[in-house]
Structure 1
Amino acid sequence: MILLVSNSRDITTDFIVAELRRRGVPFHRFNGDLADRAGLIFSVSEEGNASWSLMVEGHRVQATFRSAYFRRPALPDLGSELDVRFVDQVNGEWAALLNSFYSSLDCRWLSDPSLIAKAEDKPRQLALAASMGFSIPTATITNEFAQASAFVSSGPAVAKPLRSGRLSRGAEEQIAFTSLLDGISALDEASIRVSPVIYQRAVKKARDLRITVVGARVFACEITQIDATEIDWRRLGTEQLSYRAVDLPPPLADLCINLVNALGLGFGAIDLVQDWEDRYWFLEINPNGQWAWIERQAGLPIAAAIVDVLTGEAD
């Protein structure tokens, strides 16, 4: 049995479900946002015998799986059922139980949740990529005005979020994209000190590339380069751009695989840019990035490659 850890709204996991069904491979999809309906149980005896069980299609089964895909988990959505005073406490209880459940599973993960969390570390990503031979734009991450001002004044620079660019105010949500900076003034000092930001040397790019690594396979996709995507292609949304599969130079493809391996992962979504002198620059790696839109738009068989790893048909 294969376990898919996701949420009920994740379309990307639907691609894996379809591929598993096509092959007739048994699986269970565990949607974290519906965990309150799954009847998750941990039991331990005086003798120390411990086990986990959960509901699968109305039947209680022992939580034993040969492999698991950690895609996009979520906490149960109980906000409408709870007094607002208890939401944080209940969410904390669910997070504790679910994290224990995931860490208890003795199976092959794609990828291990603890290693995904560790790989999210952007400073670590940049230092590791540079040490392995990737070209990276010079960068500084800081909330110090003097450092940020000196960096921006020394050459073309962009600013981007360190962790998440999603900004919420009530029901309204905005996204902070990578932005080109035309300077920093003393008026910016107070806002700069509020939060650390990545300041990075701007690259005059000829094209954007999203590299999806699954085990030992590399899927490279070129993203349309137009004026509106000159700084950040995500400003237009995935459905408004065009994509095509491309081949990477073999040494660069090997570097991508080696980086994913060095982070202890089986999957990675790497953002590269290529400048007008054909030099490739590493920007970041998302250890659990979206890929369904690339499969659909560029015809790359990413779902099949993921299932190959989960079933043991590929490394």
Structure 2
Amino acid sequence: MLVATGPVDPTADLVITELNRRRIPCTRIDPGAFPHDVTLDARLADDGLWHGRLAQGTRRIALEDIRAVYWRRPTTTRAIATPPGPDRDFAEREARLGLSGILAALPDITWVNDPARAAACTKPAQLAAFRAAGLDTPDTWIGNAPLAHGRFCAEHAPAIGKTLGPITHTDVTGTRHVINTTRVPDAHAGHPRVASTAHLVQAEVQERAFEYRVAVVGERLFVTEIHVDAPYLDIRAAPDEHTTYRPGRLSTELARRIVSVTRGFGLAFAAWDLIATRDRRILALELNPGGQWAFTPDHHHVTSALADHLEHTTR
């Protein structure tokens, strides 16, 4: 079994520990460290299959031994041996296509989750799928048209802005920034700079009671209520000393719809974010194919469920 993640990942550590306890052989390699710290040696055999090995330092795994892949959070591919510029861009593209292509070509692999399916699970696709499944969502606008941006923000004031992709950004100096959800300032609504890129803007959910983090593994749901007794806008930035986590429950129908949407994206795992309002509405915000769950009260149950899913294909 291959566990594909970065060098620091406490969530993956939980699953690896459980797999080791069950004596399930697993090898941890960071695909993002290819090509500078990972070696790929693959040859197409007469049987039409790729044979060879994948190695990082002393850790190595034969391609033909890979029956399951736990694809968590690999780092970004960087061809650091190549000078910055077009040559590095080319080297990094080739590295991504080479390694991902080999892994995708391996037969009968159980993925948690297939990176191609995870990449297709964009926020616009998620929100459309939520509505199609009968789930409630905040009113949303995406685009780069300043006038339309201004009209939406005025109609739904206060409006909030979110990233369409990961919330982390590394600038030209190498400094890493976290971009949490923020209210759109009046001066930014309809600003000409909106035309510079795509923006995701939503109506802010009023009268929040609490939030849910729901870990989905196959058809099993692990529900956590997140309560914050202090003002906050983005749950990820809520003060720890004012945040509590409790086991939660969802209605049978809501759970069925969550599983259906997750399965529709071809995902074996997803971490959902929901908001419960004081008038008992539940709004679906997003699902994350590589979301966190180690902080939840029942994280050991999620660990076991993931190990069960991965183990099934290795026996």
Distance 1:239 1:309 in 2: 35
Q: Deviations over 1:105-135 (max 9, x none)?
A: 221112222111111x111111111110101
Structure 1 residues 147 and 127: CA distance shift in structure 2, 3 A: same
Indicate the percent of aligned positions where both proteins have the same amino acid: 25
Residue in structure 1 matched with residue 73 of structure 2 by the alignment: 72
Give the Cα separation in 1 of the matches to 2:135 and 2:61: 49
Q: TM-score, normalised by structure 2?
A: 0.87
Q: TM-score, normalised by structure 1?
A: 0.87
Instruction: Name the counterpart of 1:181.
Output: 184
Residue 7 in structure 1 maps to residue 36 in structure 2: no
8 Å contact from structure 2 (residues 50, 106) kept in 1 = no
Unpaired runs of 5+ residues, structure 1, are none
What residue number does 1:220 align with?
223
- C-alpha distance in structure 2 between counterparts of 1:93 and 1:241, whole Å: 44
Residue 137 of structure 1 aligns to which amino acid in structure 2? P
Output the amino acid matched with 1:32: P
Distance 1:222 1:144, change over 3 A: same
Checking the alignment, whether the CA contact within 8 Å between 2:230 and 2:242 is kept in structure 1 is no
Distance of 2:135 and 2:16 partners within structure 1: 35
Aligned residues: 305
SS of 2:295's equivalent? helix
**Which of 164, 175, 180 is residue 172 of structure 1 equivalent to?**
175
1:23 alignment partner in structure 2: 22
In 2, Cα distance between equivalents of 1:105 and 1:190: 48
1:100: Cα distance to partner?
0.8
Q: Structure 1: how far apart are the matches of 2:169 and 2:76? A: 19
What CA distance in whole angstroms lies between the structure 2 residues aligned with 1:134 and 1:300? 28
Q: What is the identity, as a one-letter code, of the residue corresponding to 1:83?
A: P
- Superposition pairs of residues 113-152 of structure 1, within 5 angstroms: 113-119=115-121, 121-152=122-153
Q: Deviations over 1:236-259 (max 9, x none)?
A: 477873312211122111111111
- C-alpha distance in 2, partners of 1:67/1:39? 20
Aligned to 2:51: 52
Matches within 5 A, 1:200-211: 200-204=202-206, 205-211=208-214
Output the amino acid matched with 1:227: A
Alignment check: 8 A CA contact 1:219 1:300 kept:
no
Q: What per-residue deviation string (whole Å, max 9, x for no partner) do you get for residues 155-205 of structure 1? A: 23211111233233313222221122353567x522211121111111121
1:26-63 Cα distance to aligned partner (Å, 9 max, x none) = 12222224444443112136x57442321565667343
Alpha-carbon contact 1:206-1:274 (below 8 Å) kept: yes
Q: CA deviation at 1:84?
A: 2.9
Tell me if the contact between 1:245 and 1:299 (Cα under 8 Å) persists in the aligned partners.
no
Corresponding position of 2:262: 260
Q: CA RMSD in A?
A: 2.5
Deviates more, 1:110-119 or 1:87-96: 87-96
Is there any run of 5+ residues in structure 2 with no aligned partner, and where? none
Counterparts of 1:29 and 1:102, CA distance in 2: 14
Query: Which secondary structure does the structure 1 equivalent of 2:131 belong to?
Result: helix
Q: Map of 1:152-171 to 2, 5 A cutoff?
A: 152-156=153-157, 157-169=159-171, 170-171=173-174
1:71-121 deviations in Å (ceiling 9; x for gaps): 112355553x443344323222211111112211221112222111111x1
Residue 95 of structure 2 aligns with an amino acid whose one-letter code is W
Structure 2 distance, partners of 1:154, 1:5, is 44
The answer as to whether partners of 1:244 and 1:298 remain within 8 angstroms in 2 is: no
Preserved contact between residue 162 and residue 197 of structure 1 (Cα < 8 Å): yes
